[in-house]
Structure 1
Amino acid sequence: MYQVLYCLTDEHDWRLVALAGAVCLLASAAAISLFHRARAAHGGARVAWISLDAAVAGGGIWATHFIAMLAYGPGAAGAYDVPVTVLSLIFAIAVTFIGLSISVSTTRSPLIALGGAVVGGGVAAMHYTGMMALDIPANVTWATGTVTASIVLGIVFGSLALFAAGRGDSLSGALGATVLLTVAIVSHHFTAMGAVKLTPDPARAIGGLSIPPGSMSFLTASAAVAIIAIALVAALLDRRAKGELGRQQVVLDTALENMSQGLCMFDADGKIILFNERYAAMLRRADMPLTGRLLVDVLREEQAKGHWQGDVEEFFARLVVDAREGRTTTDVVKRFGRSIRVVNQPMQGGGWVATFEDITEWLEAQAKISHMARHDALTNLPNRMLFHERLEQGLRVAKANDQLAVLCLDLDHFKDINDSLGHPIGDALLQEVGRRLAACAGENDTVARLGGDEFAVVQLGRSEEAAAAVLAGRLVEVISAPYEIADHQIVIGVSIGISLSPQDGSNPDELLKNADLALYRAKADGRGTYRFFETGMDARAQARRLLEMDLRAALQRNEFEVHYQPIRDVASDRVVAFEALLRWNHPQRGLISPLNFIPLAEETGLIVQLGEQVLRSACADAATWPDDIGVAVNLSPVQFKSPNLIASVIDALEASGLAASRLELEITESVLLQNSEATLATLHELRAKGVRISLDDFGTGYSSLSYLRSFPFDKIKIDRSFVSELATRQDSMAIIRAVTGLGRSLGIVTTAEGVENDAQLELLRREGCTQAQGYLFSKPRPASDVAMMLERPRLRASA
């Protein structure tokens, strides 16, 4: 030890010693930094970083040695053998590379320390090879104990240096490892220098391939500069790489933890490499160690807790095989009451990435959307689409002896309730009807709402058509029972049409069409009942459709004419007015009776357009008549629902110039049944314009007297059914006597319709009837015959 201290203090230039220490410290710092970078790399990149680290560390050891040798006093008179000097540098780099490779490639502390010991051995190999390069006129002897001590110091401190570096990449750890590596190099060098003894020998000559100390100083300084440059570049690259890795890690961590999906990455063996918190929370594995564990072990642990069902080994083996063969798989699994979609995507190089998405709400939303698309929003019954599917399904599964029936239902006069009480009441009524229908249907039956107030039932059973009749009768009874809705007691009926499979059709469209035809017959037969499909119904429906098409075309071609029938004053026996009556002169069919097309026009709504044409024509024709002759025009209940009724009356009067007092509008009691308050308001407004109002078919309803009290009609018309039986039935005579008496007392004109003979006219005159109308006076005739009807006397014979 004394020899070492003496050598260091008395035989070295401290300035160069300090320079050697600085170079050694800088090289050591760069070497430790590159060591950490090499551990973070893989494959070929790791080999490149180890090579650079070995070059920096080995060059630093070599430069430290020769700078320190220049500081050694006796070295001033010697030189350095070039080949051996280069060989010492190669030893320093090569042995250091071996040591670094051992330490970098493992996480086991003993092996890391072993690699550090190899690096320390490389320091010794470089030093003593470098000493052999010293060419000086002196004999060199060594103190064996000191040499041994120098080697041990290099190995021990080298081992500690890489051991400290291998424990982590913290700043304190890096600084500690740098100091330990510097101590390993410096302590070895100066201890070894203390072991050398030079005995001058003038007889020894310096070899020809030697380099003088001055040149060696330049080469050493160059090497030091190169080491410093390499160290700075390495440090810069390392810093930039760490910064980029840090940024990438932050981005990766942020992306992973902000994913709505769970993510877990597995290597080729099924070992968990990384995962995010969403994965752990979704599968409730947050309290389990996961990183570095095989998935099969995690699943076994979950199976032991009762959280996993099935064969764990088989499931895991399938995942590994799928990943190895490059197959992407998708499964939906149930976990803790949630539905989770798992997608396993293979990775290049082996392994796979699994994403876990909670699709519980999505599946519920899809189910809700599917339900809404196939069910009625108001009643929650199947809609037309689902009804069609159920009907198709029923036809497929029906056996040879099965009876399938399709029932089409339509509520009677539902629109009147909707118009009078409002849509909320109408909707509530439809909901209650839907509940009653569903309660009546059988377990295998399907009840659907097709739209509006139309419902349908598919009945599947093993009986004859009697089963459909029983169900239809039950439905008519149940639907017709009173409803209590929002303090309103509502009574409504239902009409039902029934078709049977296979006799009435073998496909859904045909069965529905035929059931609808039967429904039309049920309505025509008085509503509130059911009818089965019959073969002739289709022909009648075809005829009706053709008539409707002709009716629409006739409106465009102006095939309709207005004929007029005179109304005569009974007392004076003169014409006081004409009733306008519509006639259809079809180009192929000839004259079509109003009884055939007026109901169809009302049902299709075409009566509104027809009524406006009649009103305009009647007013225009009447304007050419004498001022004391009026014109009577019938108004359909459908026309009365039109919001343009008053405007069309005013327009017809203004366009023709006819005085409002000469226009008489005839309505039936069914008009007043629709919405009495709104109807009476309209009647009062027309009356205020000067138009006269007549109540037609008086005596055939049930509330005529109440209407006479609620509205002051100008005229009441006695229905022809009472006039035709006037001479044969006493009750008809009594009714006419009562009506004419009522008219006199109220100051209302009474007109008898359907007068066909003198006897009827005489009886009407005797009872005080004001006016008479019928074939006794004239048939309805075109407007061109009005003048003739005004001049000629009434007919004296029955029509």
Structure 2
Amino acid sequence: MHQVLYCLTEEHDWRLVALGGAVCLLASAAAISLFHRARATKGVGRLAWLGLDAAVSGCGIWATHFIAMLAYGPGGAGAYNIPVTILSLVFAISVTFVGLSIAVSSSRAVWIALGGAIVGSGVAAMHYTGMAALEIPARVGWIGSTVAVSVLSGIVFAALALLMAARRDDLFHALTATVLLTVGIVAHHFTAMGAVVLTPDPTLAIGGLSIPPASLSFLTASAAVAIIAIALVAALLDRRAKGELGAQQMVLDTALENMSQGLCMFDADGKIMLFNERYAAMLRRTDIALAGRLLVDVLREEEAKGEWHGDADEFFARLVADAREGRTTTDVVNRFGRSIRVVNQPMQGGGWVATFEDITEWLEAQAKISHMARHDALTSLPNRVLFHEQLEQGLRRTRSGDQLAVLCLDLDHFKDINDSLGHPIGDALLKEVGRRLTAAVGESDTVARLGGDEFAVVQIGRSEETAARSLAGRLVEIISAPYEIDDHQIVIGVSIGISLSPQDGSDPSELLKNADLALYRAKADGRGTYRFFETGMDARAQARRLLEMDLRAALQRDEFEAYYQPIRDVASGRVVAFEALLRWNHPQRGLIAPIDFIPLAEETGLILQLGEFVLRSACTDAATWPDDVDLAVNLSPVQFKNPNLIASVTAALAVSGLDARRLELEITESVLLQNSEATLTTLHELRAMGVRISLDDFGTGYSSLSYLRSFPFDKIKIDRSFVSELATREDSMAIIRAVTGLGRSLGIVTTAEGVENDVQLELLRREGCTQAQGYLFSKPRPASDVAMMLNRPRLLASA
């Protein structure tokens, strides 16, 4: 050690020593930076970084050696053999390349240390080859123990440097590794120089292939500049690459931490390589060490806490096996009351990536959507879709000899409740009906709402028809009981159609169709009752469908015509008006009475087109009559609800040129049962135009007097049911006397319908009835007969 210190302090120029140390430090810093880059890349890129690292390291070692040799006093008198000097540089680069390659290619400490040791050996190889290139007039001897210490110091410090650099790529570890590598190179050189023993020998001559120290100083300075340039370029490249990697890492980290899903990456052995906070929070593993641990160990730890249920080893083995065989798996697991979907996707080269998504709300939404798709939103009863499914299941479950009944229910006059009291009351009524139905049926039976005010029941497991009859009778009674809804007492009936399996059908569609046919029959028979399906019902329904098709076609073929029946003044016998009545001239069936097609037209909505036709035709015909003869046109309740009614009346009057005061529109009390406020508004608008309003079929409703008070009608028409019994029933006479008296008091014209004989006409005249119409005067006739009906005082016709 004394000899080494003496050599360093007495035989070296400290300025050049400092220069050599600076070059060595710079080269070491570049070498460590390039070492990190090589470890961060793969394939050809790694090989390129290793080559650059070996060149920088080798040149740095070589430059440090010869700068230090220039600082060595005895060396200044000699020269350097060129081939051997070049060989020393080759040794420095090639041996360093081998050592760096070994250290970069493994993550195990023993291999990294071995690579560092080879780098240290390269330093020794370069140094002693470089010393062999020295030619001076003296014999060079060596102290063996000091030589061994120099070689060992280079190997140890180089190994420590690469171990430190491989631990982590940060500033502290990089600086520490740089210092250790610099110390290794410098310590080796000056310890080795302390082992030199020079014996002067003037007989030794300098060879021809030698280079003087001055020239070598130029070469080493050039080498040092090259080292610095390479190091700077490498540092810039490394900084740029690290910046890009840092930016990519930041993007990756941001993406990972802002994912709605949890993510965890495992290597081929099932060790956790990467995870985000969402994963740890979702599985409540924030208080468990995860990085670098085997998943099975984490599961065992949770199992010990009671947070994992199942065989952790078996579960882990399955995941590893699936990843090795390249299988993608999807599972739904329950954790802390949450449903989590886990997708395990295998990676190339082994391992897998697992994504974790909390699908609790999604599953609840799906269940809600599924429920909504198969249940009625208002009553929560099964809807038509679910009813069909349960009906199919019921048909499959019924054993031989068992009977299944399908009951279709329709509330009677529910539309009137909706129109008069409003939809909220109607909805509340439907809910209450659904509740009563559910409470009335058996546990194995199904109640559904098929739409609107239509319900259905499937009765299963009863072997006798009487069971269905009993249930239907009970439902009619239960549904007809009064309802108390928002301070309104509501009474409503129900009509029920029943079909039985197997006699009335063996599939859901057929059973529902037949029950619906029976329901139509129950409604036609007066409502508030039930009917079983009968074979003839299908034929009647078919006839009704054919009539509907004919009705639609008749509109296209102009088969309808307006007929007119005269209305006479009772006192003078003069025709004061004609009532327009619709007739259908069917090409095969002849003249079809209104009673056979008007109800169907109202149900199908075709009454709107028919009403438009009658209004236009009648106004056009009436415009040709004398000015003192008026026109009366009936308005259907369906037609009156049409928002275009006012426009239609205005257009008919405008096109025909008929004075509005000559038009009289007849409405029934059912029109007034609708939205009363809107109805009265429409009536007042018509009156404002000059059109007169007549209340038809007076006396057959429930609130006639209140209607007369709410709207000033121009005329009230006494229903034919009272006129036909006028001569035989005292109560009919009393009613007509009261109505005519009421008309006189209110200044309203009274017209009696259905007058067929002179006795009835005389009684009406005696009671003060204003007008009369009926077969006594004429039956309805086409427009071409109007002139005849005006000129003849009476045209008797048989009813």
Shorter-chain TM-score bucket reads: 0.7 to 0.9
CA shift, 1:516, in A, is 1.9
Map 1:323-342 to 2 at 5 A: 323-342=323-342
Judging changes above 3 Å, is the alpha-carbon distance between structure 1 residues 506 and 29 closer, same or farther for their aligned structure 2 residues?
Answer: same
What is the SS of the residue equivalent to 2:426?
helix
Report the equivalent of 1:458.
458
Question: Who is 1:242 aligned against?
Answer: 242
CA deviation map 1:249-275 (0-9, x unaligned): 222222221221111111111111111
Distance in 2 separating the partners of 1:280 and 1:150: 52
Q: CA deviation at 1:302?
A: 1.8
2:585–2:592: 8 Å Cα contact kept in structure 1? Answer: yes
Shift of 1:523: 1.3
SS in structure 2 at match of 1:333: strand
Partner of 1:20: 20
The aligned residue for residue 375 of structure 2 is 375
Give the superposition deviation at 1:334.
Answer: 1.4
Cα deviation code 1:448-480 (max 9, x no counterpart): 333322222333333333333333223322222
Equivalent residue for 1:414?
Answer: 414
Listed one character per residue, the Cα deviations across residues 748-782 of structure 1 (whole Å, up to 9, x for unaligned) are 66555444445555555566655554444443333
Alpha-carbon offset, residue 91 of structure 1: 4.5
Which residue in the other structure is 1:289 paired with? 289
Say whether residues 1:596 and 2:596 are aligned partners. yes
Give the letter aligned to residue 523 of structure 2.
K
Q: Does the CA-based 8 Å contact 2:775-2:796 persist in structure 1?
A: no
- Superposed, which structure 2 residues align to 1:387-402 within 5 Å? 387-402=387-402
Q: Aligned partner of 2:241: which letter? A: A
Alignment check: 8 A CA contact 1:757 1:796 kept: no
Partners of 1:98 and 1:782 lie apart in 2 by 119
Aligned equivalents of 2:144, 2:682: Cα separation in 1: 134
Q: Tell me if the contact between 2:778 and 2:796 (Cα under 8 Å) persists in the aligned partners.
A: no
Correspondence 1:225-624 to 2 at 5 A: 225-569=225-569, 572=572, 575-624=575-624
- State how far apart, in whole Å, the 1-side matches of 2:645 and 2:148 are: 126
**How far, CA to CA, are the matches of 2:41 and 2:713 in structure 1?**
106
The alignment partner of 1:24 has SS state of helix
Moved more, 333-342 or 692-701: 692-701
- 1:290 is paired with a residue of what secondary structure? coil
* Range 451-460 or range 528-537, more displaced: 451-460
The CA distance in 1 between the partners of 2:744 and 2:71, in whole Å, is 152
Alignment of 1:212-227 (within 5 A): 212-227=212-227
Aligned to 1:178: 178
Once the two structures are overlaid, the 10-residue window that deviates more, 624-633 or 338-347, is: 624-633
User: Aligned AA for 1:242?
Assistant: K
Q: Cα RMSD between the aligned structures?
A: 3.7
Q: Give the whole-Å Cα distance in 1 for the aligned partners of 2:107 and 2:656.
A: 111
CA, structure 1 residues 6+528, in 2 after alignment: closer, same or farther (shift >3 Å)?
A: same
SS of residue matched to 2:273: strand
Cα pair 1:757 1:798 within 8 Å, conserved: no
Change in 2 beyond 3 A, CA 1:492/1:507? same
Cα gap change, 1:50/1:491 in structure 2, threshold over 3 Å: closer, same or farther? same
Deviations 1:705-731 (A, max 9, x none): 555666665655554444444555555
Identify if the C-alpha distance between structure 1 residues 125 and 778 changes in structure 2 by more than 3 Å, giving closer, same or farther.
closer
Alpha carbons 1:646, 1:686 under 8 Å: kept: yes
The count of corresponding residues between Structure 1 and Structure 2 is 799
Contact 1:119 1:158 in 2 (8 A): yes
Q: Tell me, in whole angstroms, the C-alpha distance in 1 between the residues paired with 2:199 and 2:585.
A: 151
Aligned partners of 1:17 and 1:308: how far apart in 2?
66
| Bigger Cα displacement from structure 2, 404-413 vs 524-533 | 404-413
Cα distance 1:126–1:523, how it changes in 2: closer, same or farther (>3 A)?
same
Residue identity matched to 1:262: G
Instruction: Give yes or no for contact 1:80–1:211 (8 Å, CA) kept in 2.
Output: yes
Deviation at 1:239, TM superposition (A): 2.9
The more displaced of 601-610 and 663-672 is 663-672
Segment of structure 1 superposing worse, 99-108 or 49-58: 99-108
Q: 1:171 to 1:754 in 2, by over 3 A?
A: closer
Provide the C-alpha distance between the structure 2 equivalents of 1:361 and 1:584, rounded to a whole number of angstroms. Answer: 61
How many Å apart are 1:116 and its aligned residue? 5.0
Question: Structure 1 residues 276, 172: CA separation in 2 closer, same or farther (over 3 Å shift)?
Answer: closer
Q: Amino acid of the residue matched to residue 60 of structure 2?
A: G
- TM-score w.r.t. length of structure 1: 0.88
Unaligned runs of 5+ residues in structure 1 are none
Q: Aligned partners of 1:193 and 1:356: how far apart in 2?
A: 64
Q: CA separation of 1:403/1:65 partners in 2, compared to 1, >3 Å: closer, same or farther?
A: same
Q: Which runs of 5+ in 2 are unaligned?
A: none
How many angstroms does 1:783 deviate by? 3.5
Following the alignment from structure 1 to structure 2, what is the Cα–Cα distance between the partners of residues 475 and 497?
Answer: 12
| Cα 1:518–1:71 shift into 2, 3 Å | same
Q: Indicate if the aligned counterparts of 1:266 and 1:272 stay in contact, CA closer than 8 A.
A: yes
Mapped partners of 1:449, 1:751: distance in 2: 46
Task: Report the CA distance shift for 1:616/1:90 in structure 2 as closer, same or farther (over 3 A).
Answer: closer
1:43-54 mapped onto 2 (5 Å cutoff):
49-50=49-50, 52-54=52-54
1:520-576 C-alpha deviation (Å, 9 max, x unpaired): 111111112222221111211122222222223333333333334444555555555
Answering whether residue 780 of structure 2 is matched by residue 780 of structure 1, we say yes
Render the CA deviation track for 1:589-627: whole Å, top value 9, x for unaligned: 112122212322333333344344444444554554555
The alignment partner of 1:554 has SS state of helix
Task: Please give the alpha-carbon distance, in whole angstroms, between the structure 2 residues aligned to 1:745 and 1:124.
Answer: 138
1:192–1:616 Cα change, 3 Å: closer
One-letter amino acid matched to 2:302: E
Distance 1:22 1:406, change over 3 A: same
Instruction: Tell me, yes or no, if the aligned pair for 1:103 and 1:111 is still in contact at 8 Å.
Output: yes
Partner amino acid, structure 2, of 1:296: V
**Residues 610-619 or 458-467, more deviating:** 610-619
SS in 2 for 1:460: strand
Contact 2:416 2:673 in 1 (8 A): no
Quick one: distance in 2 between partners of 1:209 and 1:219? Answer: 15
Distance 1:126 1:780, change over 3 A: closer
SS in 2 for 1:409: strand
| Counterpart position of 1:136 | 136
Q: Larger deviation: 283-292 or 360-369?
A: 360-369
Query: Structure 1 residues 285-294 or 32-41, which shifts more?
Result: 32-41
Percent sequence identity over aligned pairs: 85
CA contact (8 A) 1:499 1:518 kept: yes
Q: In the superposition, relative to structure 1, how do residues 462 and 3 fare at CA in structure 2: closer, same or farther (>3 Å)?
A: same
Alignment-mate amino acid for residue 348 of structure 1: Q
State the AA in 2 paired with 1:334: N
Q: 1:511–1:136: structure 2 CA closer, same or farther, 3 Å change rule?
A: same
> Are the structure 2 counterparts of residues 437 and 21 from structure 1 closer, same or farther at C-alpha, using a change threshold of 3 Å?
same
**For residue 394 of structure 1, what is the amino acid of its counterpart?**
G
Structure 2: distance between partners of 1:536 and 1:32? 101
State the SS of the aligned residue for 1:268.
coil
CA distance in 2, matches of 1:306, 1:197: 76
Q: State the alpha-carbon separation in 1 of the partners of residues 140 and 681 from structure 2.
A: 138
Letter in structure 1 aligned against 2:227? I
1:321 to partner: Cα distance: 1.9
Aligned equivalents of 1:268 and 1:92: distance in 2? 39
What SS is found at the alignment partner of 1:596?
Answer: helix
SS in 1 for 2:310: coil
Q: 1:732 to 1:428 in 2, by over 3 A?
A: closer
User: Which stretch shifts more, 3-12 or 129-138?
Assistant: 3-12
1:293 alignment partner, SS class = coil
